[in-house]
Chains A and B, each alone.
Chain A
Amino acid sequence: MVAEENLRVVRSGGSKLNFRRAIFSIDSKYLFCVSGDFVKVYSTTTEGCVYVLQGHSNLVTGIQLNPQNHLQLYSCSLDGTIKLWDFVDGILIKTFVVGCKLYGFFAPVHLEDSVFIIINKETPDEFQLASMKLPKSPSQEVEVKELSFVLDYINQSPKCTAFGREGQYVVAARDLYLSVYFFKKKKTFRFSLPSESKKNCNNIFTCVACHPKEDCIATGHQDGRIRLWRNFNDNRNYTYTSLHWHHDIVMDLAFSVEGTSLLSGGRESVLVEWRGGIEKNKEFLPRLGGTIEHISASPGGDLFCTSHSDNKIMIIHRNLEVSAIIQGLVKDSIVNTGLMIDPRTKALVMNGKPGHLQFYSLQNDKQLYNLDIIQQEYVNDPGLVHIELMKAAFSSRGNWLATVEQRQEKEAELELQMKLWEFNEQQQGFILNTRINMPHEDHITALCFSDIENSETPSLVTTSKDGHFKVWILTDDSDIYKQAMGWTCDFVGSYHNYQATNCCFSEDESLLAVSFEEIITIWDSATWELKCTFCHRPGKIKNLCFGRQTCSKYLLGTTEKSFLCCWNLLTCTLEWNVQLNVTVLEPDPNSDNIAAVSWFSGGSDLFVFKPSEPRPLCIQKSICREKVQCAVFVPRDVPESFISEDYQWLNKSQFYFLNESQDLMTFSTKSPEEKLTPTSKQLIAEESLPTTPFYFLLGKHRKQQETKPDEVPEHELIYHPSATDIPAISELLQTPAHVLPSASFLCSMFVNSLLISKGTKSAEEVPDEVEMESEQATDDSDEENNISEIAQNAINDTDIGDEIPQISKTQEKTLRKLRKVDYSWMCAL
């Protein structure tokens, strides 16, 4: 690593996937969604992230396929640029600089050269729809100057703007107004709804969608009504039908490709399909989790997808069956549990969906699974008091998980439940072992496990506001029916009836520190005897932790009155203290470092120190503007070796923290490009091959290769590039489409490379290169000459080098087989 590496705070995955509508590629194989400053490309079948398109320097606010070339994608961002991507290869093709913040982007299919953007001019909260022509210039970065306004005073959200059938009109809704602009007539019609016509009516528009085949506009409203507007090219004769099922705001609407059905969703988390626009003809897909925020339909018509408030995209089959779920880090709820690391999977664990713990893989930026703790149906309705998951803790080996849930409707009615979960090796999951009702009389403030590697009986300590701390141990709970182990209370401790606020075991688990408001008590974990007390008045203890490894003789605590104190356990004296408003105190389990995050009105600062040394190892000023809620050290799989003293603390573990706006952040020294996982340029190239006869040829070839493992070992080396080794093919497959020469030029070269042929017919120009190939291949197979059948393996096909490419015998054979294949279906095309 170089010395001048720079430590930066970077957002670590888990940015919002549900910010804008996700869109499908034309073949429904990929799903694109905006994610912070990036655009993510997911596979709809494997749910995996195939590409991350990076390049914008601010939030991406809109994406749309290029209507002229469906292998390209437009994206617009608050940084004032529109970028055109080749998503098959993940390459940025062009950047159009507009210069003002762009809030939405539309590229209607039928308005060929114009694109539309939502911008904000002068007055805040007043947004305009502007059209512009993207200049056709070869340079990489083009400035766009000419904007012409189409509609004024529209909604910021692109959900409230839609383009009608064949791009004939554009609809925008805001508040109680619906404006329709007809491009041909250059005329705007405005319709308004009464503000509160009847009781329980709230007619504010929330989203619009246009019927793809008919002149019909669907609008969603705040009170759950959907209106289907027709005859809107007439100020008087316009009419609407209302569909009412949602009881709360309609979040988004989408028509199916043919317009035969309309999909709507809202806070009920039910996807409603209205068939034929008839109120009684509807189908439901219920229990989808969080609020449905966006709905989109694939151009092929076979898939829908819904984006949910719990940072999830669901891909739903046409027959309303969920086919895939792309789940990001759930950020919907308040993180009561804080950040934890599952010792087994090294996954980040925190509150997820309501009542669930989510296990989130930081390496893959993917949710691993959800553990349903509360095991109750969640009803998404305001005014309901739900059971909340308050605390969770893992034992050090990860075989026990303790969770605390509570529900408090009124001051006096507290419902508490503690659950202990055991990891089951066979089922590879946590199984409920013990459920304890009302473990304490009052709120549980902290809990921690102690299980030393070799100890047979793990124990758990819980502290509560009722003034007690309880020690729970695993005991034999067998009866005549079964052998079982269960958790029971072993010891109850208190100190002058003060509220117990924190607890913490020393590294060797011999000591337990429990803080009672202003006082820290130290207990012997073997006998549960009070050893000594520490106090640093005034101010209650907020955080508490023991030093690790070489510093295990120190105990650290922070108080509400902005002090960070360090006590020496051997001398029972205060070693040092500093005035610092610490919000988070987190020890690194792999080293003796401790991280403290302080907060002042200006921002949060990070201090990393060793308890034994008063001088901090590293000070990182203003790591973020907001208050840091919680933080965790994540052990690295492969230790880094930072030479710089400032970053040595990051060698063994990585530091993650969560701020109040629920952004998960970490420190990185790498540039973003380096972080790219070495995925799948190859993968994409393979996947993008359609199942054409040519594909069968290649595929079969490979299979044959695979079925001959007994051949020369160097065969393995050439196996993979066998197809791509032929320069023409590799050129075809690996060069981005936009830099390829014309297909007719390539064609002859390509065919020549395959066969010793007399020449080819000139191919028609087909926009899709792959299609062209397949046609060409079949043409060839038709006019192919007789090739004598000789032993297949006689000629080694490795000698295809820079010389004239030659065809292998196996290939010849497959080509001849191809002749016999029925290609009558080609005529139908």
Chain B
Amino acid sequence: MLSVGNTRKGMGEFKVHRVRFFNYVPVGIRCVAYNHQSNRLAVSRVDGTVEIYNLAANSFQEKFFPGHEGRATEALCWAKGQRLFSAGLNGDIIEYDLEKMSVKYSVDGFGGPIWSMAADPSGSYLAIGCEDGSVKLFQVSPDKIQLERTLERQKGRILSLSWHPSGTHIAVGSIDYIAVLDAKSGSTTQKMLMDKRHPGSQRRRCVVWGVAFLSDGTVVSTDSAGMVQFWDSETGTLVQTHPLTSSDVLSIAVAEKEDSLVVGTAEGTIFHFQLIPSRSDGKQSQWVRTKPFQHHTHDVRSVAHSPTALISGGVDAHLVIRPLMEKVEVKNYDAALRKITFPHRRLISCAKKMQLLLFQFPQRLELWRLGATDAAGKNEDILPLSRNAEHLLQLKKKGPENICCSCISPCGSWIAYSTASRFYLYRMNYENNSVSIKRVSKLPKFLSSAFQILFSGDSAMLYVASNQGSLHVIQLLEGSLKHLHTFQPQSGTSEAISLLAVSPDGNWLAAAGMSSGVSIYNLKHLKPHCMVPAYNFPVTALAIAPNTNNLVIAHSDQQVFEFSIPQKQYTDWSRKVQKHGLHYLWLERDTPITHITFHPKRPTHILLHDTYMFCIIDKSMPLPDDKTPLFNQLSLREASENVRRRHAHAFKISKKFQPLLFMDLLDEGTLVAVERPLEDIIAQLPPPIKRKKFGT
């Protein structure tokens, strides 16, 4: 699993630990909900995790609520502007606090497990479909939701639900039928029975997985027979049938303009339907299935339709944003297909001196010691291991909540992790080949939970970003803790901190909020130092360089800034980069930079990586312009010295390690790269629906 090899010349030679034993499997997506107002996408996963993606900011995963064993979300919706609700099989409706990054409250629906939920077009009512066949209306008040009325109870669980755009009627899908309910009176106005005659199989029940109510009164349904059907809700008649697959059609989403809709099937295909005038001059239009897209291998559990893209997510954990070419104004990078598989957070921390890696899984932590080699080799050689990598420790989470963040101290003797409500700190002892672990039990009361945990470079201090935006500075002593200070957020804001960085000398601490800028604190005097000028895009990675104390910030729009902390201003190099502009290929990268580090001996180098590349920025080299090739490392290696000098530029990029989840410099000449090949993930998923392929 581990190999040690040398990497290329232009970047300097490194021994690379290639780690492939991070056994991370992303959790399948259950729901996606698109918010038009903020252009954000909420995604809930099978384990209850809820993530918020900002589509305007390069689809960056801005926020994340860790999962909970008892909270299997079945439905997710936005209401009243930008309030996010979820409902699940435990029968509760949960509202999330998007500022404080916590669950605001949860309300019991009193109808058994909740299968579906939808907000009315004005956003002031929530309708939930329950196991017992009832549809309940909740009124959304500014800080609470309140049961308003229970509509006429149906037979069988309500699996899907959709409001008429006028808010007067609700279409509900159950097993074998669709019903239309009057939201005012609560009575059933129409009931439409599904055809139970399946082609091929004997009487199986037809499950209506999704309904969509259009403003002209048409109800679109998707069902387990593989059909998309258009019903007239006035007369209760079937207008149009589109048999799509032999498996289930699981999800449906309609564009706001109602001229296009998207459905997702259990075979991993999504189909696009468009309302197309049958004659160019006439008024008659018909729904036509236009294009199929196959980006998933497994069930597409949920789809969403933004004005310019089709969004789908499913069991294979890919979030796919497929732009509609005809809707995109300019053919820029936004017009490209996007497939998000890995979280935009760091799941791995590293104790450099001890050569330890701490892997964070939703349910557990794993501590590994890297292998070692005695051999030396040429470029690109794979070196034999003299000692294999060692799994030292596994820490299982306690309680139903998933792990939110974790960190190992640089010396390797402390491990801290946190769930949404508890904070854990452990003291490690390494004796020869055995590891002993001891929990630090006496934690101060305010350390109830954390969003970010960071140890100082000498492992003497612990920085914890807690809720309400407070930042605790704690001194670590042998066996006990000493609380030094708490930085409170700037007046008015209570936004959670998403990223922390400390300078190697321990004097400066930088903290980035979810959407606000980066604040810098002076740790010597324990007071705020300054703010980095605000920037529109969220921060994806932060690091403070040794010696110079320059703060390097990567944003989700792929810009990189360097900010001098002592001088409280951007450095000259950063200004030069902004003036010159970054290479277009650099700006068109898919994934955000998740980690930045520095070379101790080469102050001009900045090392950073995203999921598909590893880059060393040499500040002393000229910047590339759009005409020069950005990825020229391989071609330059063969070229003569002269050519190499002429074409070399500041960005030295290696794409050898993919998909790269973590990369760090262990010492001057050693890198550690953690890869997670997609095939290994697919191998751990359940087998997909087998489809006959012609010619096989």
Interface hits, B217-254 → A, CB 8 Å: 242-244
Chain B residues, CB < 8 A from A233: 280
Inter-subunit contact A215/B279 (CB<8 Å): yes
Interface hits, B269-310 → A, CB 8 Å: 274, 276-280, 288-292
Chain A residues, CB < 8 A from B695: 247
Interface hits, A206-264 → B, CB 8 Å: 213-216, 228, 230-231, 233, 236-242, 247
Count of CB-CB pairs between chains A and B under 8 Å:
48
Kindly state whether residue A167 has any CB partner on chain B within 8 Å. Answer: no
Contact of B288 among A230, A280, A281 (CB under 8 A): A230
Chain A residues, CB < 8 A from B288: 228, 230, 239, 241, 277
Inter-subunit contact A239/B274 (CB<8 Å): yes
Inter-subunit contact B244/A239 (CB<8 Å): no
Inter-subunit contact A213/B244 (CB<8 Å): no
Chain B residues, CB < 8 A from A238: 326
A280–B276 CA distance with the chains assembled, in angstroms: 20
Inter-subunit contact B274/A214 (CB<8 Å): no
Chain A residues, CB < 8 A from B279: 165, 213-215
Report A281-302 CB contacts with B as 1/0, cut-off 8 Å. 1000000000000000000000
Inter-subunit contact A215/B280 (CB<8 Å): yes
Smallest distance from the beta carbon of B279 to chain A beta carbons, Å?
Answer: 5
Inter-subunit contact A278/B289 (CB<8 Å): yes
Chain B residues, CB < 8 A from A279: 289
Q: A237-B326, A241-B288 are in contact. Are A281 and B278 (CB under 8 A)?
A: no
A276–B292 CA distance with the chains assembled, in angstroms: 17
A641–B274 CA distance with the chains assembled, in angstroms: 75
Chain A residues, CB < 8 A from B278: 213-216
- Chain B binding surface, main DSSP class: strand
Q: A165-B279, A231-B276 are in contact. Are A241 and B291 (CB under 8 A)?
A: yes
Inter-subunit contact A281/B243 (CB<8 Å): yes
Nearest neighbor of A235 in chain B, beta-carbon distance = B326
Q: A239-B291, A278-B242, A280-B244 are in contact. Are A247 and B280 (CB under 8 A)?
A: no
Contact of B276 among A230, A236, A242 (CB under 8 A): A230
Contact of B326 among A214, A239, A277, A280 (CB under 8 A): A239
Chain B residues, CB < 8 A from A240: 290-291
Inter-subunit contact B289/A241 (CB<8 Å): yes
A168–B279 CA distance with the chains assembled, in angstroms: 11
Inter-subunit contact A236/B290 (CB<8 Å): no
A214–B278 CA distance with the chains assembled, in angstroms: 5
Smallest distance from the beta carbon of B213 to chain A beta carbons, Å?
Answer: 23
Inter-subunit contact A247/B290 (CB<8 Å): no
Nearest neighbor of B243 in chain A, beta-carbon distance = A280
Smallest distance from the beta carbon of B524 to chain A beta carbons, Å?
Answer: 60
Kindly state whether residue B446 has any CB partner on chain A within 8 Å. Answer: no
A216–B289 CA distance with the chains assembled, in angstroms: 13
Interface hits, A538-564 → B, CB 8 Å: none
Interface size range of chain A in the complex: 20 to 34
Chain B residues, CB < 8 A from A242: 291-292
Nearest neighbor of A244 in chain B, beta-carbon distance = B694
Interface hits, B679-696 → A, CB 8 Å: 694-695
A376–B90 CA distance with the chains assembled, in angstroms: 64
Chain A residues, CB < 8 A from B326: 236-239
Smallest distance from the beta carbon of A727 to chain B beta carbons, Å?
Answer: 52
Chain A residues, CB < 8 A from B277: 215, 231
Chain A residues, CB < 8 A from B291: 239-242
A277–B289 CA distance with the chains assembled, in angstroms: 9
Q: A231-B276, A236-B326, A239-B291 are in contact. Are A247 and B694 (CB under 8 A)?
A: yes
A213–B277 CA distance with the chains assembled, in angstroms: 12
Nearest neighbor of A243 in chain B, beta-carbon distance = B289
Nearest neighbor of A278 in chain B, beta-carbon distance = B242
A213–B284 CA distance with the chains assembled, in angstroms: 12
Inter-subunit contact B243/A278 (CB<8 Å): yes
A216–B276 CA distance with the chains assembled, in angstroms: 10
Smallest distance from the beta carbon of A199 to chain B beta carbons, Å?
Answer: 12
Contact of A239 among B280, B290, B292 (CB under 8 A): B290
Smallest distance from the beta carbon of A240 to chain B beta carbons, Å?
Answer: 7
A334–B277 CA distance with the chains assembled, in angstroms: 51
A238–B327 CA distance with the chains assembled, in angstroms: 11
Name the residue in A214, A216, A281 with the highest tally of chain B Cβ atoms < 10 Å from its Cβ. Answer: A214
A813–B288 CA distance with the chains assembled, in angstroms: 62
A220–B33 CA distance with the chains assembled, in angstroms: 38
A566–B120 CA distance with the chains assembled, in angstroms: 103
Nearest neighbor of B245 in chain A, beta-carbon distance = A280
Inter-subunit contact A239/B694 (CB<8 Å): no
Chain A residues, CB < 8 A from B242: 278, 280
Smallest distance from the beta carbon of B351 to chain A beta carbons, Å?
Answer: 46
Chain A residues, CB < 8 A from B289: 241, 278-279
Chain A residues, CB < 8 A from B274: 230-231, 239
A247–B693 CA distance with the chains assembled, in angstroms: 12
Smallest distance from the beta carbon of B222 to chain A beta carbons, Å?
Answer: 14
A240–B291 CA distance with the chains assembled, in angstroms: 7
A215–B279 CA distance with the chains assembled, in angstroms: 5
Smallest distance from the beta carbon of B336 to chain A beta carbons, Å?
Answer: 15
Smallest distance from the beta carbon of B418 to chain A beta carbons, Å?
Answer: 46
Chain A residues, CB < 8 A from B290: 230, 239-241
Chain B residues, CB < 8 A from A241: 288-291
Interface hits, B377-436 → A, CB 8 Å: none
Nearest neighbor of B289 in chain A, beta-carbon distance = A241
Chain B residues, CB < 8 A from A215: 277-280
A278–B695 CA distance with the chains assembled, in angstroms: 23
A241–B242 CA distance with the chains assembled, in angstroms: 13
A236–B288 CA distance with the chains assembled, in angstroms: 17
Name the residue in B244, B280, B288, B292 with the highest tally of chain A Cβ atoms < 10 Å from its Cβ. Answer: B280
Chain A residues, CB < 8 A from B292: 242
A215–B276 CA distance with the chains assembled, in angstroms: 9
Smallest distance from the beta carbon of A150 to chain B beta carbons, Å?
Answer: 19
Smallest distance from the beta carbon of B393 to chain A beta carbons, Å?
Answer: 46
Smallest distance from the beta carbon of B571 to chain A beta carbons, Å?
Answer: 44
Inter-subunit contact A239/B276 (CB<8 Å): yes
A277–B276 CA distance with the chains assembled, in angstroms: 14
Chain B residues, CB < 8 A from A228: 288
Nearest neighbor of A259 in chain B, beta-carbon distance = B278
A230–B242 CA distance with the chains assembled, in angstroms: 17
Chain A residues, CB < 8 A from B280: 168, 215, 233
Chain B residues, CB < 8 A from A237: 326
Chain A residues, CB < 8 A from B276: 230-231, 239
Smallest distance from the beta carbon of A272 to chain B beta carbons, Å?
Answer: 14
Name the residue in B242, B288, B291, B694 with the highest tally of chain A Cβ atoms < 10 Å from its Cβ. Answer: B288
Interface hits, A471-516 → B, CB 8 Å: none
Nearest neighbor of A169 in chain B, beta-carbon distance = B280
Smallest distance from the beta carbon of B197 to chain A beta carbons, Å?
Answer: 15
Name the residue in A239, A240, A242, A247 with the highest tally of chain B Cβ atoms < 10 Å from its Cβ. Answer: A239
Interface hits, A125-166 → B, CB 8 Å: 165
A804–B402 CA distance with the chains assembled, in angstroms: 111
A279–B291 CA distance with the chains assembled, in angstroms: 11
Smallest distance from the beta carbon of A382 to chain B beta carbons, Å?
Answer: 14
Nearest neighbor of B286 in chain A, beta-carbon distance = A214
A713–B695 CA distance with the chains assembled, in angstroms: 74
Smallest distance from the beta carbon of B273 to chain A beta carbons, Å?
Answer: 10
Smallest distance from the beta carbon of A303 to chain B beta carbons, Å?
Answer: 26
Report B324-336 CB contacts with A as 1/0, cut-off 8 Å. 0010000000000
A546–B276 CA distance with the chains assembled, in angstroms: 76
Other than A237-B326, A278-B243, A280-B244, give 17 A-B pairs with Cβ distance below 8 A.
A213-B278, A213-B279, A215-B277, A215-B278, A216-B278, A230-B276, A230-B288, A230-B290, A231-B276, A238-B326, A239-B288, A240-B290, A240-B291, A241-B289, A242-B292, A247-B694, A279-B289
Give 20 pairs: A residue, B residue, CB < 8 Å, sorted on A.
Answer: A165-B279, A213-B278, A214-B278, A215-B277, A216-B278, A230-B274, A231-B274, A231-B276, A236-B326, A239-B288, A239-B291, A240-B291, A241-B289, A241-B290, A242-B291, A247-B694, A278-B243, A279-B289, A280-B242, A280-B243
Interface pairs A-B: 3 shortest CB-CB = A280-B243, A214-B278, A239-B290
